[in-house]
Amino acid sequence: MSDPTVRPAMPTVSLLRRMIDGLATAVAAGSVLLVLLPLIAIFGYLVYKGFGALNWTFLTQTPKPVGEAGGGMANAIGGSMLILGIASILGVPLGIGAGIYLAEYGRGHFGDLIRFTADVLNGVPSIVIGIVGYSIIVLTQKHFSALAGGVALAIMMVPTITRATEEMLLLVPIQVREAAYGLGVARWRTTISITLRTATSGVITGVMLAFARIAGETAPLLFTAFGNQYWNWRINQPTAALPLQIFTYAISPFDEWHRQAWAGALILIVLIVVAVTAVRIAAARGMVKGVI
Amino acid sequence: MGVAIEVEHLNAWFGSTQALKDISMHIAANHATAIIGPSGCGKSTYVRCLNRMHETVPGARAEGRVRIGDLNIYNGTSATQVRRRVGMVFQKPNPFPTYSIYDNVAAGLKLNGFRDRRRLDEIVERSLRQAALWDEVRDDLRKKSGSSLSGGQQQRLCIARALAVQPQVLLMDEPASALDPISTGKIEELIFQLKENYTIVIVTHNMQQASRVAEFTGFFLLGELIEFDRTEKIFTNPADKRTEDYITGRFG
């Protein structure tokens, strides 16, 4: 009879094993630091360089002519919102729709073709996408426009959102779909109200990643939205955008413009963070719920 | 009320592999019928043919005649129509993870366009009571999600969800195999009460369970129905040697 209170002696862990354990932990922690360091450095430097040039004028005024002090990037902030709005309206439904197709119906060669195309499109340099926007919209309309910029950015969003949506939908267990089929719910209804609903937070992450990526794109806007010194809210007119304005100011020879470029970059990052956070909070509160 | 199920010459395939071979069976209304047999014998495929879930698997098909009440399910009707008459409870509890307890139960009606809120409230309460879950969840109907419940509660939630669409038949594919003995006991008790209003077909690995809950038992082996009779006959005096070998634990 063994005494239940006497536990078998734990074998002592050898020094070597403890050292390897410590080393592995240190390497993992070091990697985290290495990854975070550039991020913190960039943001810190932006605040350091840009915060000084930030003031009410910067946020409410349009740029002043060369040589005059003051002025701001209000029209570029508004223009960026307009272009990103157009891009999201076009790109998000298209990307999610294509992702649903791939996950729920795209088993055969046609699905593979779309998947391959999306992956290739993801790797196309953004300047090339700018040229596409230029040739299909600017050339046919005979002028630069916010719409052309929006379309170019939408093309960049679609493959990211498509693949993210597909992957998130495929993570939803088949048993959850079967539960809905078993209740006599039609397939399309199951896809929208059950599968997509279950994957909502993952899909939103994909959309936000795509959004954050295109928000800072400059190259596709160079010959689509083109830029503008003045306010413009019409989608068929050349429109200012933050990345364009930052680019123009950063390569200029004027110190004043350099400072404004830093401030513009800081605003751009803050806008992205605000947009992503707002959508996350909205999603968490259930405002993006599908129709059950 | 439950209705009888008439199965005649049912065959089913996965691609080129035949999973069910010429099954004919009369399932009595308002009784529980157990389907037993070793793994891979076609038990699950069989019940999934009774509500046309089998065909949702790519490459799978079924042929034959299955009548549920007066509805010939493989001829002149849609799969969704069939599934509204034939509820299903799966092996692993599968509540809709993002839905509240209330919405889980109401899902079958809401997603099919039923909008009368007061009626929905009544049906949700009645279904949860029938599934013996009402007292445990009545205060958190809309606050908690279906997946926050314990495994046994989740399975009763899935039963309530299936009952809410008022089916005539309830198919249960090893409904207690993922549950502890206490939860299993509750599910078995439930089956006894549900028999009054529904025809129940239950797949089970557990022969004691079959003998406890079912009046009739069918023994499947390699896609064939070897023997189908009253449960006590199957377990005390089987006609076929293979049935006897299985129930006495010689294989499976």
Chain B residues with beta carbon closer than 8 angstroms to that of A107:
58
Tens of pLDDT along A239-268?
999 999 999 999 999 888 899 999 999 999
pLDDT at A275 over 50: yes
Closest approach of chain B CAs to the CA of A119, in angstroms?
Answer: 26
Cα distance between residue B149 and residue B145, in whole Å: 8
Q: How many CB atoms lie within 10 A of CB A20?
A: 11
For residue B78, what is the nearest residue in chain A, using CA coordinates?
A184
Q: What average pLDDT score do residues A8-16 get?
A: 76
pLDDT at B126 over 70: yes
pLDDT value for A8 = 65
pLDDT value for B21 = 95
pLDDT value for B252 = 58
Which residue out of A175, A185, A201, A288 would a mutagenesis test of the B interface target, given it has the greatest number of B Cβ atoms within 10 Å? A185
Indicate whether B104 belongs to any domain.
Answer: no
Indicate whether B122 belongs to any domain.
Answer: no
Tens of pLDDT along A177-224?
999 999 999 999 999 999 999 998 899 999 999 999 999 999 999 989
Tens of pLDDT along A154-169?
999 999 999 999 999 9
pLDDT at A66 over 60: yes
Indicate whether B205 belongs to any domain.
Answer: yes
Cα distance between residue A250 and residue A265, in whole Å: 10
Q: What average pLDDT score do residues A33-55 get?
A: 92
Min mean pLDDT across A89-93, A106-110, A172-176, A239-243 is at: A106-110
* Percent of chain B clearing pLDDT 90 (strictly above): 79
ipTM for the whole complex: 0.90
pLDDT at A289 over 60: no
Q: Does B137 touch chain A (CB under 8 A)?
A: no
- The rounded mean pLDDT for chain B is 92
Q: What average pLDDT score do residues A13-22 get?
A: 90
Confidence of residue A291 (pLDDT cuts 50, 70, 90): very low
Q: Tell me if A181 and B96 make a contact (CB, 8 A cut-off).
A: no
pLDDT at A146 over 90: yes
For residue B166, what is the nearest residue in chain A, using CA coordinates?
A183
Chain A residues with beta carbon closer than 8 angstroms to that of B111:
180, 183, 185, 189-190, 193-194, 292
pLDDT value for B165 = 93
Q: Tell me if A182 and B80 make a contact (CB, 8 A cut-off).
A: no
- Report which of residues A5 and B250 the model is more confident about: B250
Q: Does A179 touch chain B (CB under 8 A)?
A: yes
Neighbour-count burial of B104, counting CB atoms closer than 10 A to its CB (0-12 exposed, 13-18 middle, 19+ buried): buried
pLDDT value for A9 = 67
pLDDT value for A230 = 85
Chain B residues with beta carbon closer than 8 angstroms to that of A173:
94
Q: What average pLDDT score do residues A270-275 get?
A: 92
Architecture of domain A73-284: Orthogonal Bundle (1.10)
Indicate the Cα dihedral angle A192, A194, A198, A203, nearest 10°. -10
Mode of pairing for the β-strands spanning B169-173 and B199-203? parallel
Neighbour-count burial of A225, counting CB atoms closer than 10 A to its CB (0-12 exposed, 13-18 middle, 19+ buried): buried
pLDDT value for A229 = 86
- Report which of residues A290 and B64 the model is more confident about: B64
Q: How many domains does chain B have?
A: 1
Indicate whether B139 belongs to any domain.
Answer: no
pLDDT value for A288 = 47
Q: Where are the domains of chain A?
A: 73-284
Largest Cα–Cα distance in chain A? 96
Chain B residues with beta carbon closer than 8 angstroms to that of A194:
96, 107, 111
Closest approach of chain B CAs to the CA of A233, in angstroms?
Answer: 40
pLDDT value for A283 = 79
Q: Tell me if A198 and B97 make a contact (CB, 8 A cut-off).
A: yes
Q: Tell me if A178 and B97 make a contact (CB, 8 A cut-off).
A: no
Q: Tell me if B95 and A186 make a contact (CB, 8 A cut-off).
A: no
CB environment B187-211: b (16+ within 10 A), e (fewer): bbebbeebbebbbbbbbbbebebbb
CATH code of the domain in which B16 resides: 3.40.50.300
